[in-house]
DNA sequence: GGGCGGAATTGGTAACACCAATCCGTGTAG
DNA sequence: CTACACGGATTGGTGTTACCAATTCCGCCC
């Protein structure tokens, strides 16, 4: 309802819009009536209803559990991930172009995280850096790295940034080679890597947006250099 | 197939994966066999097949035309738009946070457009600026503005940036009030607005990425100022 | 040759039966 | 009294058949 958006204008299909409205009315986690019941209530066949439910499920708003029921869940980035994955497969969206989106998002996240200046959330970034400093194992470094960047997006206090970042990493991390390359790279120059992440955190903690952005840029420059065309999530 | 991604790992469901593979094999615009035929070929009922087709349609890969057939179409941002719209309605994704994503994308687009330095594409940006300079009507200014920003993303030569930008503007432009505010703002200080857009174009044409980024930032600073919390697409 | 109309095709919906997974209440063994 | 096991009821998933509505295409008529 907010911002002048209404469900019926988002979906050209009447039935879908009606369903969406119902779904959004009840909070996330709630269970919808059974298909047979809803079909009767809405005056349509179960076939038609299931068609719309499938659509909403594809959008990530619903989750259907066989034998249990259909549940509302918050809009999740999975759908976007699938769409992007298809785009990749269709070789319409290239890997490099997706990567550049990631850079853009991360830079903005750093900027907003510094603006927000939430000490609790930036502490999570610090924790991830600490994990990096406590190990030299490639796998653990990788996990700490993932944790750090997730913490960064959380610290941005921008749900949409987080949403898109999740959707992207879903695609970017699916490629095993990329992940391997990533680990190899990180184990190559651990000290520098730690420094770069520390810089991002410090800039955010110091509530210096411009410096945070530059730190992120440095981080990606480091990722780019030496790897040539092969880019990765980082 | 590229980048180690395969359709069967993108979709947990076997039938969906098989379908996706078939769909991606044939180029965009092609027509799939009829549902009855495919159902027989794949050894499943029309019901189950339609379920998967609905899913792929939700993702934007397919388009079903009643009486005509089911057609493949390139992965389009419509799906993401719907997902984001739902996120807005569920008031999980706020308008402001979506807006910040837009800023991030646009900044990056300017950067890459300057890097790419495609004279033909930047010329389209110039054309949009010319349209702005040729009118003082709010509606026409609005359209020229939209055209300019589309041209910017096209000039970035990054399909993913363009993809997300389209998805976002689909949501952001649906709100009528926002559009009205936008027009009012632009008619308020036409000269300044023209200058800001000209700057972006010139920086891109001069192949100066840093300057292009700064120009975009100035543009959004201008949009922000004076409007308080009410943000818009711009 | 062009326009028109009907048959065949295609996606959309409906109604019914059945399967498999899940849930829940009950009853039984400890 | 508790813990577990069993079985019926509920729920989503699939198959089948029939029919509707929009579209397409081909052949007939003008």
A93-112 tens-digit pLDDT: 888 898 899 999 999 999 99
B133 SS3 class = helix
3-state secondary structure of B31: strand
- pLDDT of A150 > 60? The answer is yes
What is the CATH number that goes with domain B79-226? 1.20.120.530
Tell me how far apart the alpha carbons of residues A130 and A141 are, in angstroms, rounded to a whole number: 11
Residues of chain B with CATH 1.10.10.10: 7-72
| B59/A79 touch (CB, cutoff 8 Å), yes or no | yes
Outline which parts of chain B fall under CATH 1.20.120.530. 79-226
R_g over Cα of chain A: 21
Residue B208 and residue B213: Cα distance in Å, rounded?
Answer: 9
- Confidence class for position A196, pLDDT limits 50, 70, 90: very high
Contact (CB<8Å) A59/B58: yes
pLDDT of residue A17: 93
Q: How far is B134 from chain A (nearest CA, A)?
A: 32
Residue range B176-226, pLDDT digits in tens: 566 666 666 666 678 888 999 999 999 999 999 999 999 999 998 888 764
Which nucleotide comes closest to A69 if you measure CA to C1'? D11
A228 touches strand C (CB under 7 A): no
* pLDDT at site B159: 93
Interface test with A, best of B1, B2, B3, B221 (most A CBs within 10 A): B3
Question: What was the pLDDT predicted at B78?
Answer: 81
Higher pLDDT: A184 or B67? It is B67
Q: What is the mean pLDDT of chain A?
A: 87
CA closest to B3 among chain A residues: A175
Q: Which two tokens stand for residue A64?
A: 């259907």
Q: Is pLDDT of A187 > 70? A: no
CB A77 within 8 A of CB A84: no
Chain B closest-CA separation from residue A136 CA (Å): 27
Mean pLDDT of A3-27: 84
**Bigger pLDDT: B64 vs A231:** B64
Residue B47 CB neighbours (<10 A): 11
- Identify the residue whose Cα has the smallest distance to the C1' of D24: B68
Question: Cβ distance A233 to A182 under 8 Å?
Answer: yes
Place B8 in a pLDDT band, splitting at 50, 70 and 90: confident
Here the tokens at position B220 are 């959004």
In this predicted model, which residue has the larger pLDDT, A150 or A185?
A: A150
How large is the average pLDDT for residues A6-32?
Answer: 89
**What residues are paired with B72 via a beta bridge?**
B62
Residue B161 · residue B104 · CB < 8 Å: no
Q: What are phi and psi of A86, to 5 degrees?
A: -60, -40
Nearest CA in chain A to B84: A75
pLDDT at A179: 62
Helix H, strand E, coil C: the string for A48-106 is: HHHHHHHHHHHCCCEEEECCCEEEECCCCCHHHHHHHHHHHHCCCCCHHHHHHHHHHHH
DSSP letter for each residue of chain A = -GGG--HHHH-SSHHHHHHHHHHHHSPTTPBPPPHHHHHHHHTS-HHHHHHHHHHHHHTTSEEEETTTEEEE----THHHHHHHHHHHHTTSS-HHHHHHHHHHHHHHHHHHHHHH--HHHHHHHHHHHHHHHT---HHHHHHHHHHHHHHHHHHTT-HHHHHHHHHHHHHHTT-HHHHHHHHHHHHHSHHHHHHHHHHHHHHHHTT-HHHHHHHHHHHHHHHHTTTTT-----
Cα–Cα distance for residue pair B125/B70, rounded to 1 Å: 36
What is the value of pTM for the model shown?
A: 0.85
Confidence at residue A233, expressed as pLDDT on a 0 to 100 scale: 42
Read off the tokens for A3: 């911002």
Output the pLDDT for position B23.
Answer: 92
Read off the pLDDT band of A231 (50, 70, 90).
very low
The per-residue pLDDT for A61 is: 92
Residues of B in contact with A60 (CB under 8 A): 83
Contacts of A54 in chain B (CB under 8 A): 51, 54-55, 58
Cross-chain CB nearest to A59 (options B7, B86, B158): B86
Question: Per-residue pLDDT tens for B108-125?
Answer: 999 999 999 899 999 999
Residue A228: what pLDDT?
Answer: 47
Judged against a pLDDT cut of 70, whether residue B2 lies above it is answered with no
Average the pLDDT over each of A84-93, A222-231, B65-74, B198-207 and give the range with the smallest value: A222-231
Query: What percentage of chain A reaches a pLDDT higher than 70?
Result: 87
Q: B50 — contact with chain A (CB < 8 Å)?
A: yes
Which DSSP category does B140 fall into?
A: H
Angstrom distance (rounded) from CA B69 to CA B63: 8
Determine whether the distance from the CB of B34 to the nearest atom of strand C is below 7 Å: yes
Q: Number of residue pairs across A and B with CB atoms under 8 Å? A: 202
Q: Distance (Å, rounded) from C-alpha A56 to C-alpha B83? A: 9
A45 touches strand C (CB under 7 A): yes
In the predicted model, is pLDDT for residue A202 greater than 70?
A: yes
Task: For residue B128, give the DSSP letter.
Answer: H
A67 contact to strand D (CB, 7 A limit): yes
pLDDT in tens, A38-73: 999 999 999 999 999 999 999 989 999 999 999 999
CB atoms within 10 A of CB A66: 5
User: Would you state the pLDDT for residue A234?
Assistant: 46
- Interface check for B134 against chain A (CB to CB < 8 A): the answer is no
DSSP tag of B12: S
Q: Residue A189 has which token pair?
A: 């120059």
Does the CB of B92 fall within 7 Å of any strand D atom? no
The pLDDT assigned to B231 comes to 44
Do the chains contact at B101 and A164, CB–CB below 8 Å?
A: yes
Query: Which residues contact residue B222 at a Cβ distance below 8 angstroms, ignoring those fewer than 6 apart?
Result: B192, B193, B196
Among A79, A176, A178, the residue with its CB nearest the CB of B83 is A79
Q: Is B8 on the interface with A (CB under 8 A)?
A: no
Residue A142 pLDDT > 70: yes
Q: What secondary structure letter does DSSP report for B92?
A: S
Hey, which residues 154-193 in chain A have their CB within 8 Å of chain B? 158-161, 163-164, 171, 174-178
pLDDT at A105: 97
| pLDDT value of position A113 | 97
| CA–C1' nearest nucleotide, residue B33 | C10
CA A155, chain centre distance (Å): 14
CATH number of A7-72: 1.10.10.10
Band of residue B130 on the pLDDT scale cut at 50, 70, 90: very high
Q: What is the pLDDT of residues B13-24, one digit of tens each?
A: 999 999 999 999
pLDDT top residue among B205 and B230: B205
- Position A174 pLDDT exceeds 80: no
**Whether pLDDT at B9 is above 90:** no
> CA A15 to CA B200: how far, in whole Å?
44
Pick the more confident residue, B80 or B230: B80
Q: What angle do CA A37, A39, A40 make, to 5 degrees?
A: 65
Backbone φ and ψ for A64, nearest 5 degrees, come out as -105, 125
Q: Share the mean pLDDT of chain B.
A: 87
């Amino acid at each position: 309802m907010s911002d002048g958006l209404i469900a019926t204008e988002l979906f050209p299909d009447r039935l879908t819009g009606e369903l969406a409205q119902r779904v959004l009315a009840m909070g996330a986690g709630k269970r919808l009536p059974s298909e047979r019941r809803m079909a009767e209530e809405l005056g349509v066949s179960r076939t038609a209803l299931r068609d719309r439910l499938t659509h909403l499920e594809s959008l990530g708003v619903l989750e259907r559990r066989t034998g249990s029921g259909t549940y509302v869940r918050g809009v999740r980035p999975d759908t976007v991930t699938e769409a992007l994955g298809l785009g990749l497969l269709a070789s319409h969206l290239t890997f490099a172009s997706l990567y550049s989106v990631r850079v853009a998002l991360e830079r903005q996240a750093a900027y907003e995280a510094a603006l927000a200046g939430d000490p609790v959330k930036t502490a999570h970034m610090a924790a991830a850096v600490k994990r990096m400093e406590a190990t030299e194992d490639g796998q653990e470094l990788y996990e700490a790295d993932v944790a750090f960047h997730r913490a960064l997006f959380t610290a941005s206090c921008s749900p949409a940034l987080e949403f898109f970042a999740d959707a992207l990493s879903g695609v970017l991390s699916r490629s095993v080679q990329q992940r391997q390359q990533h680990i190899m790279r990180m184990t190559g120059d651990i000290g520098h890597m730690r420094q770069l992440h520390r810089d991002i955190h410090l800039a955010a903690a110091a509530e210096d947006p411009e410096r945070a952005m530059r730190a992120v840029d440095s981080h990606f420059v480091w990722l780019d250099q030496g790897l040539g065309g092969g880019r990765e999530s980082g």
